[in-house]
Amino acid sequence: MVNEGDYWKKIEQFFVDTFDTEKNPPIETLLFLIGLQELGSGQQKYTKEDKVNLIHIAVCRLLEPFGYYKFTHYEDGWPQYDKLEELPELRPNEQSLLMKKAIIQYFQEEELI
């Protein structure tokens, strides 16, 4: 059985190979790239606000299977989500673990690893 640490290494390598990111990219970089994938608009110039929105799209998409968000529709080509449940108060390391778990699940669902 493959453990989460092994999956995480595969995911980091995927980003290094696919997007030429640095080794051990920050989680924000991964979220931005997942947001781009979910938006489906490809590489282009984005404003700072757009970049924040792309990260938000990724967070919503990643936490949707956990029951925190639900996709509702597209508006001006951007996916829209409703918040279903407040996230629990988490310490920074717990937030990081939750996001890593959600990214692993996303990669498995999308059959990227």
Query: Where is 61: in which H helix or E strand?
Result: helix 48-63
pLDDT given at position 13: 87
Query: Shortest CA distance to 103 belongs to which of 21, 44, 15?
Result: 15
Rounded distance between C-alpha atoms, residue 68 and residue 54, angstroms: 17
Q: Is the pLDDT of residue 17 over 90?
A: no
Domain count, the chain: 1
- Give the domain extent around 24: 4-109
Per-residue pLDDT, averaged over 35-52, amounts to: 87
